[in-house]
Amino acid sequence: MSVDPKNQAAEEDLRLPFDDEAGHGTGKRDLAGLLIAVALFGLALVIINDASGYPIRRSYAKFGPEIVPYLIASGICVMAVITAIMAWRGAFEARDPLNIGALSWLVGGIVIEIFMLYGGTGFIAGSAVLFAFAARAFGQATLALNLAIGAVLSTLLYLLFRYGLGLSLPAGPVERTIDLLLR
Amino acid sequence: MDTFILLFEGLATATQPSNLMFALLGVMLGTAVGVMPGIGPALTVALLLPVSLSFGATGSMIMFAGIYYGGMYGGAISSILLNTPGETASIMTALEGNRMAKRGKGGKALGAAAFGSFFGGMFATLGLAVVAPFMVMVALSFGTAEYFALMVLSFMTVSAAFGGSMSRGLTALFIGLTIGIVGTDKLTGQVRLAFGIPEMSDNISIAIVAVGLFAIGETMYLASQYVNHKAKAQAVSGSVWLNWGDFKRCIRPYIRGTGLGFLFGPLPTGGAEIPTFLSYTTEKRLATGEARREFDEGLGAIEGVAGPEAANNASAAGTLIPLLTLGLPTSATAAMMLAGFQQYGLQPGPLLFTNNADLVWGLVASLFIANLMLVVLNVPFIGIWVKLLTIPRPWLYAGILCFATLGIVGAQGSPFALILLLGFGLIGFVMRRFGYPLAPALVGAILGPLAEEQLRRGLMINQGDWMFLIESRIALAIYAIALLSVFGPRLWALLRKANRKASAAA
């Protein structure tokens, strides 16, 4: 059977999600992967520490609220060991370079929104800033235009959800003005 | 015959103006998000979870099901015109569909996809209506041991079937289970893993988990890549209506695709990935004549679009069987819908059919209506959806983020909820970056507390004796299925590899 190259390419596209476990790793020791293993161990410790502090109850079950956390913690420990082995052997696939700048814009946008929402500037302003920062993260550098679109979108969302669905959203000067005008 | 009487009563519920509106809203949203690459139906339901609380149970479930079906229709559009499947269910459609679009037959591919989705959706929904009552009868005899076994089955298969590898799937599952135990224990009132934070001693809202992992995490992941967010779509070329010749070529793939989708949808193997894959390979193997040539020369064969598209919609209907009758989600979207039910204090399962019959049958009937709406929306009005592909990505994703935070702010309204949201977003981002599937984490967080309740109830009844778990024959059978569905695909892949080697050697 002769296989033409196009067909072979299609064949590779057809990989089922679960048969790529072996053979696609980098083969290099993966520090970030080891860090995940450490984090998983840490999580297991936190769960065990928490569960060991529950008061002992006597019941027919013989087992109280601590049994499932212990089961989960032991499961996580097993997964942490497997993760450590995977990272050690380089079984994680190669990752694309990380665009730290974009990620910072995004996380920064969310953090600033949290401060703005609960610092009294209201939903529309906070949401517009988040919109502008997020668009910037995706490479749209026109900050003023982003802010303008974000403000329009947030205002529409505010009107829709405040008056359409009756959701209560943090109000600032802009929202109070809108509420006054619409009353 | 009872089924059809109930279905007619359901039709009365579904045709109430407000429910028709929710169905329309659902299918439009579903198609829209299906079209846009990077967001799928699971994410959309997640975004709407917090705001849907004011819609009422029946209305929001009808809307969610519309989103699920619509997502399957819309996914085909981006696969065919952009070669970037909107969600995993449309990966197979992209193969032949995009080749057809490049050859100026994009319209035909879209038409085949839309009618295939209609065919698959209609017949599989009919199947759902017929099969569900039998499943309910079986499920009514289940006790704690059987339910616990079913949940273990769900955990295992969800971890094995989604995404990269079994070990990462299980890790994601355990992270989800951990999220599930945070808060006040239902049976004893013990507060667990709350660290003295009052918001944590109520259980963490599933909406925060879902929106954080899926919406925030996914956008972070997309932003963190150095890719051009301005890929170009193929224009729609040619008519979307099928002529008799096309239809004759499509009808068999439709039937086979529907069968595969309906068969695999209810199995906890992760939704539409496997049936669409099987449908594609079947059509490719069976192709003769013109179709053979188109498959072999990479010209794009209409059968390769028709089969998988019928299969993915049929599997969406199939997925609803275990969701409604057993409360078991077998895909990420189904898991979100389960969270939607829980939001209203409803627990899907056999009792839902007796206690909330109008909701269940209204939902099933509305699926037929949703399908009709979708075929109308997707054939004559296809141009509108294609326009969506021209929204600049930066603004699209920025809008999604604004909407995501709006939902949480409106429903929870505390700075802590937003910090938690950001935290889950970062976890979701790390998971995506390292190839961990997100669906098991969500299923773990939703089903974990239910599984714990069954386990501890069982232990209480049996006075702490673990043996009750394996004394039921049905439960043992379910564990056997769990093992088979985890290791079966692996064996199958090995066999395939061995076969390919043998045929390469010959």
Q: Write out chain A residues lying below 8 Å of B211, CB-based.
A: none
Q: pLDDT-derived band of residue B1, with 50, 70 and 90 as boundaries?
A: low
SS (H, E, C) B10-33: HHHHHCCHHHHHHHHHHHHHHHHH
The set of residues, in sequence order, having a beta carbon less than 8 Å from that of B504 and lying 6+ positions away, is: A1
pLDDT of residue A5: 39
Assess whether pLDDT exceeds 90 at residue B82: no
Q: Look up the ipTM and state it.
A: 0.86
Angstroms from B2 CA to nearest CA on chain A:
38
Instruction: Choose, out of A15, A26, A116, A138, the residue to mutate when testing the contact with B (most B CBs < 10 Å).
Output: A138
Contact across the interface for A132 and B226, Cβ inside 8 Å: no
Domain extents for chain A?
A: 20-89, 100-176
d(CA B488, CA B473): 21
Q: Closest partner residue to B224 among A99, A135, A154, by Cβ?
A: A99
Mean pLDDT, residues B139-161 taken together:
85
Q: Closest partner residue to B219 among A43, A59, A106, by Cβ?
A: A106
Mean pLDDT, residues B295-321 taken together:
87
pLDDT of residue B313: 87
Contact across the interface for B193 and A50, Cβ inside 8 Å: yes
Residue with tokens 């909407």: B403
B390 interfaces chain A, CB cutoff of 8 Å: no
Q: What is the pLDDT of residues B361-384, one digit of tens each?
A: 999 999 999 999 999 888 888 888
Q: Write out chain B residues lying below 8 Å of A16, CB-based.
A: 273-274, 277, 489, 493
Mean pLDDT, residues B132-153 taken together:
88
pLDDT of residue B268: 65
Q: pLDDT-derived band of residue B326, with 50, 70 and 90 as boundaries?
A: confident
Percent of chain B with pLDDT over 90: 16
pLDDT of residue B368: 92
Q: What are phi and psi of B428, to 5 degrees?
A: -60, -40
Higher pLDDT, B247 or B324: B324
Q: Show which of residues 55-74 on chain B sit within 8 Å of chain A, judged by CB atoms.
A: none
Q: Write out chain A residues lying below 8 Å of B398, CB-based.
A: 130-132, 134-135, 138, 140, 146, 150
Q: Write out chain B residues lying below 8 Å of A159, CB-based.
A: none
pLDDT of residue B506: 54
Q: Are B404 and B61 spatial neighbours (Cβ–Cβ below 8 Å)?
A: no
DSSP SS3 for B147: helix
Q: What is the pLDDT of residues A110-169, one digit of tens each?
A: 999 999 998 888 899 999 999 999 999 988 888 899 999 999 999 998 888 888 777 788
Helices of type H across B36-165: 41-48, 57-82, 91-102, 106-140, 144-161
B299 interfaces chain A, CB cutoff of 8 Å: no
Q: Which of B274, B206, B199 is nearest to B447 (CA)?
A: B206
pLDDT of residue A79: 94
pLDDT of residue B232: 62
| Pair of tokens at residue A49 | 């520490």
Q: Write out chain A residues lying below 8 Å of B166, CB-based.
A: 18, 21
> Which of B214-228, B402-416, B491-505 has the least mean pLDDT?
B491-505
Scanning every residue of chain B, which has its alpha carbon at the shortest distance from the alpha carbon of A162? B410
d(CA B337, CA B270): 15
The set of residues, in sequence order, having a beta carbon less than 8 Å from that of B88 and lying 6+ positions away, is: A17, B40, B271, B272, B273
Higher pLDDT, B42 or B505: B42
For residue A93, the cross-strand partners are A25
For residue B184, the cross-strand partners are B191
Q: Which of B409, B430, B436 is nearest to B420 (CA)?
A: B409
Contact across the interface for B413 and A170, Cβ inside 8 Å: yes
pTM metric for this prediction:
0.85
pLDDT of residue B228: 62
pLDDT of residue B412: 72
| Pair of tokens at residue B127 | 């199947």
Q: Write out chain A residues lying below 8 Å of B219, CB-based.
A: 106, 134
B83 interfaces chain A, CB cutoff of 8 Å: no
Average pLDDT, chain B: 84
Assess whether pLDDT exceeds 60 at residue B491: yes
Indicate the helix (H) or strand (E) that contains B217: helix B217-224
Average pLDDT, chain A: 82
Q: pLDDT-derived band of residue B13, with 50, 70 and 90 as boundaries?
A: confident
Angstroms from A179 CA to nearest CA on chain B:
17
d(CA B328, CA A146): 43
Q: pLDDT-derived band of residue B198, with 50, 70 and 90 as boundaries?
A: confident
Contact across the interface for A105 and B178, Cβ inside 8 Å: no
Q: State the amino acid at position A67 in one-letter form.
A: I
Instruction: Tell me the CA end-to-end span of chain A in Å, nearest whole number.
Output: 77
Q: Write out chain A residues lying below 8 Å of B430, CB-based.
A: 36
d(CA B182, CA B198): 12
Contact across the interface for B402 and A134, Cβ inside 8 Å: yes
Q: Write out chain A residues lying below 8 Å of B408, CB-based.
A: none
Q: What is the pLDDT of residues A14-32, one digit of tens each?
A: 444 433 444 467 777 888 9
pLDDT of residue A145: 93
Q: Which of B165, B486, B339 is nearest to A23 (CA)?
A: B165
Assess whether pLDDT exceeds 70 at residue B165: yes
B351 interfaces chain A, CB cutoff of 8 Å: no
Q: pLDDT-derived band of residue A60, with 50, 70 and 90 as boundaries?
A: low
Residue A147 CB-density burial (10 A; 0-12 exposed, 13-18 middle, 19+ buried): middle
Q: Write out chain B residues lying below 8 Å of A123, CB-based.
A: 406, 409
Which CA distances in Å does B7 have to A50, B58, B124, B143, B275? 50, 15, 15, 28, 27
Contact across the interface for A140 and B409, Cβ inside 8 Å: no
B467 interfaces chain A, CB cutoff of 8 Å: no
Q: pLDDT-derived band of residue A3, with 50, 70 and 90 as boundaries?
A: very low
The conformational region for residue B421 under phi > 0 = left, psi -120 to 50 = alpha, else beta, is: alpha
Q: pLDDT-derived band of residue A108, with 50, 70 and 90 as boundaries?
A: very high
> Which of A45-54, B105-114, B323-332, B492-501 has the least mean pLDDT?
B492-501
